[in-house]
């Protein structure tokens, strides 16, 4: 067979163009409706049937069940939806993913949409250069749609012509003539291909090309289709590797659901195949097996299909039309089987969402972790979910970071009052640990946000990333302030410094004000919003801290001059007061960033 390395590279490049088109199309839609998708996911999962519908709609919109399941893993990780809710959405996502097969079957094999791809790009270019973010996103969607079908057309033309090369066909026949064993073989091939390509839609497209070229029979294509349903679960499991146990359970639930589905279909394979074939004829699609039968029974069928129409006789042209009709029936039949399989599996399994949740919870038991150990709860440095939706995880991690800063300040306050020397050493060791953790958390969150910003983001999300980076930096400074106070207390203890009752009361009052400011910051972060009244209240707290610091500085000079206490005693005393005041500045900076974002949104 005359099939060179260049032809093979053309095939791989065509697949790459197809995948890039699908990714661009999906991201364009997610950018246009990213926030709405989040709202839909969190609002429409109140019961299992609403969850199924939600997963179906979102996957149909963004054209990627992998993106939906990775998004779900992220949301379960972030605590936005429960494990049980996520399972029903995953079931819906499996149904939604079948739309891709129909789009490819209808437009890719019945209509030569590649002829419209370039004109579609002409429509998309003005939108991409538009100043409006949504227009750009829709432009990207059209570009992705065009590239997807250009890639499909190139893939079809780059495939080796096996039918007209008997030696290659003989090699393939070794794997296609073993009955149900051949089905199992192609099931494994479909699963492996999907794991490699990381897109069940791309593997389904390859399967559609193989069956409509006559390489494999309809029943072997169905076997590959079942393998693709299992292989697609790997993406979510990879995304869940570095995250919390709830997210791992959601990913495992996806695998359990699909394993159950492919198992019962493989057991009832031939009855299911006959049922779908009969249903296909009933609704007017035609018998999906006829194309394979014609290719096998007539050695000239493949040649007639691929030959120039002008070189064929009238009889061959008529026969070619019949073959084209049979080929379309096969493509539709495979898409129909994919849909029937996922719908039926969902109708069976939707009643068992709670048992599935219990099963995966039993398999993946939660482990208690020491709070003084470094662990990101909501984000991972492995697989990102889609750029727009990664911000949800990052925001939840920042909230967790602020709570850690609050706990660090509580430990500092306890350390300040601790009289037992051994306990004091333990407390300062914890403070040192927290300082190391806060530094690493800042780096990890900032690195994650930088990676997110490298993706395709809407202007609003880009501004949000800048806001989040500023907030992370200020929280790290709060933790630095806690550590500095801890070191000052160590110096106080080493020098056996004893404060007067008035000095002690002043420090406690200052720490109370800082505590109040930290709580106001945490409340604002929790709501991702600061109203004008709340901001003014926080500013008043900051002014209170500043005024108190100024008053204590003046009073300290007077007390030292009047020999109320020695100057050496005043050093650590004023260091603690000054560091508390600096922490107030960092806290108000966080609130300013949130308030500016609120004003811009308004």
Question: Residue 259 has what pLDDT?
Answer: 92
Q: How far is CA 211 from CA 102, 214, 224, 229, in A?
A: 15, 5, 10, 18
Could you tell me if 163 and 45 lie in one domain? yes
Could you tell me if 472 and 553 lie in one domain? yes
Q: Distance between CA atoms of 485 and 584, rounded to whole angstroms?
A: 13
User: Considering the domain boundaries, does residue 370 fall inside one?
Assistant: no
Contact 233, 87 (CB under 8 A): no
- Whether 371 has a pLDDT exceeding 70, the answer reads no
Q: How far is CA 282 from CA 345, 389, 589, in A?
A: 22, 42, 67
Could you tell me if 149 and 203 lie in one domain? yes
Question: Residue 372 has what pLDDT?
Answer: 47
CA angle 499, 500, 504 (to 5 degrees): 70
Could you tell me if 423 and 570 lie in one domain? yes
Could you tell me if 292 and 395 lie in one domain? no
Could you tell me if 184 and 279 lie in one domain? yes
* pLDDT, tens digit (0-9, with 9 covering 90-100), for 559-578: 999 989 999 899 999 999 99
pLDDT over 90 for what percent of the chain? 26
User: Considering the domain boundaries, does residue 371 fall inside one?
Assistant: no
User: Considering the domain boundaries, does residue 187 fall inside one?
Assistant: yes
Last residue of a domain, one of 331, 363, 395: 363
Question: Residue 39 has what pLDDT?
Answer: 59
Question: Residue 157 has what pLDDT?
Answer: 67
User: Considering the domain boundaries, does residue 376 fall inside one?
Assistant: no
User: Considering the domain boundaries, does residue 379 fall inside one?
Assistant: no
- Whether 169 has a pLDDT exceeding 50, the answer reads no
Could you tell me if 192 and 314 lie in one domain? yes
Phi, psi for 518 (deg, rounded to 5): -65, -40
Could you tell me if 36 and 167 lie in one domain? yes
Which one is predicted more confidently, 162 or 34? 34
Last residue of a domain, one of 363, 398, 415: 363
* pLDDT, tens digit (0-9, with 9 covering 90-100), for 232-241: 887 667 666 6
- For the ranges 240-244, 274-278, 294-298, 459-463, the lowest mean pLDDT is seen at 240-244
Question: Residue 127 has what pLDDT?
Answer: 86
User: Considering the domain boundaries, does residue 441 fall inside one?
Assistant: yes
- For the ranges 69-78, 363-372, 536-545, the lowest mean pLDDT is seen at 363-372
Q: Which residues touch 461 (CB under 8 Å, ≥6 apart)?
A: 31, 34, 387, 388, 391
Could you tell me if 448 and 332 lie in one domain? no
Could you tell me if 189 and 280 lie in one domain? yes
Question: Residue 384 has what pLDDT?
Answer: 47
Region 480-500: what's the mean pLDDT?
Answer: 93
User: Which residue range(s) make up the domain with 53?
Assistant: 5-363
| CA 168 to chain CA centroid, nearest Å | 41
Q: Distance between CA atoms of 94 and 512, rounded to whole angstroms?
A: 53
Could you tell me if 357 and 470 lie in one domain? no
Contact 247, 320 (CB under 8 A): no
**pLDDT-based confidence at 251, cuts 50/70/90?**
confident
- Whether 552 has a pLDDT exceeding 80, the answer reads yes
User: Considering the domain boundaries, does residue 396 fall inside one?
Assistant: yes
Highest mean pLDDT among 163-177, 232-246, 349-363, 501-515: 501-515
* pLDDT, tens digit (0-9, with 9 covering 90-100), for 402-411: 999 999 999 9
Domain count, the chain: 2
User: Considering the domain boundaries, does residue 268 fall inside one?
Assistant: yes
CA angle 595, 600, 602 (to 5 degrees): 95
Provide the CATH number for the domain around residue 538. Answer: 1.20.58.220
Q: Distance between CA atoms of 100 and 93, rounded to whole angstroms?
A: 12
Could you tell me if 306 and 398 lie in one domain? no
CA atoms within 13 A on the CB side of 262: 24
């Amino acid at each position: 067979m005359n099939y060179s390395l260049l032809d093979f590279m053309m095939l791989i490049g065509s697949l790459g163009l197809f995948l890039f088109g699908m990714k661009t199309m999906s991201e364009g839609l997610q950018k246009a409706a990213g926030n709405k998708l989040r709202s839909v996911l969190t609002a429409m999962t109140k019961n299992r049937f609403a969850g199924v519908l939600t997963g179906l709609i979102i996957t149909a919109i963004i054209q990627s069940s992998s993106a939906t399941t990775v998004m779900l893993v992220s949301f379960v990780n972030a605590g936005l939806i429960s494990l049980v809710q996520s399972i029903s959405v995953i079931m819906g996502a499996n149904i939604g993913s079948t739309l891709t097969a129909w789009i490819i079957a209808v437009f890719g094999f019945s209509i030569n949409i590649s002829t419209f791809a370039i004109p579609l790009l002409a429509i998309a270019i003005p939108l991409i250069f538009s100043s409006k973010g949504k227009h750009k996103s829709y432009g990207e969607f059209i570009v992705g749609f065009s590239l997807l079908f250009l890639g499909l057309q190139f893939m079809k033309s780059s495939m080796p012509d096996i039918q007209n090369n008997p030696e290659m066909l003989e090699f393939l026949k070794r794997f296609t003539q073993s009955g149900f064993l051949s089905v199992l073989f192609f099931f494994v091939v479909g699963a492996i291909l999907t794991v490699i390509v990381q897109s069940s839609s791309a593997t389904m497209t390859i399967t559609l090309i193989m069956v409509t070229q006559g390489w494999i029979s309809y029943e072997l294509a169905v076997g590959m289709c079942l393998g693709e349903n299992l292989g697609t679960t790997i993406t979510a499991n990879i995304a869940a590797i570095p995250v919390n146990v709830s997210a791992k359970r959601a990913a495992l639930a996806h695998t359990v659901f699909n394993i159950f589905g492919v198992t019962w279909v493989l057991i009832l394979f031939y009855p299911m195949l006959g049922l779908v074939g009969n249903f296909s004829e009933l609704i007017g699609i035609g018998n999906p097996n006829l194309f394979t039968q014609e290719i096998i029974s007539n050695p000239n069928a493949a040649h007639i299909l691929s030959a120039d129409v002008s070189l064929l006789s009238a009889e061959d042209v008529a026969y070619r039309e019949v073959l084209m009709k049979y080929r379309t029936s096969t493509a539709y039949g495979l898409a129909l089987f994919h849909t029937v399989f996922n719908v039926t599996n969902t109708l069976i399994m939707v009643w068992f969402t709670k048992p599935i949740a219990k099963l995966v919870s039993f398999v993946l038991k939660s482990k208690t972790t020491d709070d003084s150990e470094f662990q990101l709860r909501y984000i991972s440095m492995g697989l990102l979910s889609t750029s727009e939706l990664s911000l949800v995880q990052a925001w939840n991690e920042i909230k967790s970071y602020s709570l850690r800063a609050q706990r660090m300040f509580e430990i500092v306050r306890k350390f300040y009052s601790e009289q037992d020397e051994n306990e004091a050493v333990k407390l300062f060791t914890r403070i040192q640990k927290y300082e190391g953790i806060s530094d690493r958390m800042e780096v990890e969150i900032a690195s994650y946000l930088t990676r997110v910003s490298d993706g395709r983001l809407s202007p609003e999300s880009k501004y949000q990333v800048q806001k989040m980076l500023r907030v992370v930096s200020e929280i790290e400074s709060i933790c630095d302030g806690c550590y500095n106070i801890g070191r000052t207390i160590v110096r106080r203890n080493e020098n056996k410094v004893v404060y007067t009752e008035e000095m002690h009361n002043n420090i406690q009052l200052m720490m109370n004000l800082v505590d109040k400011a930290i709580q106001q910051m945490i409340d604002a972060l929790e709501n991702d919003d600061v109203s004008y009244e709340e901001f003014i209240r926080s500013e008043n707290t900051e002014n209170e801290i500043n005024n108190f610091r100024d008053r204590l500085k003046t009073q300290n000079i007077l007390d030292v001059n009047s020999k109320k206490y020695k100057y050496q005693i005043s050093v650590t005393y004023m260091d603690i007061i000054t560091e508390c005041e600096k922490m107030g500045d960092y806290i108000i900076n966080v609130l300013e960033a949130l308030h500016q974002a609120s004003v811009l949104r308004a």
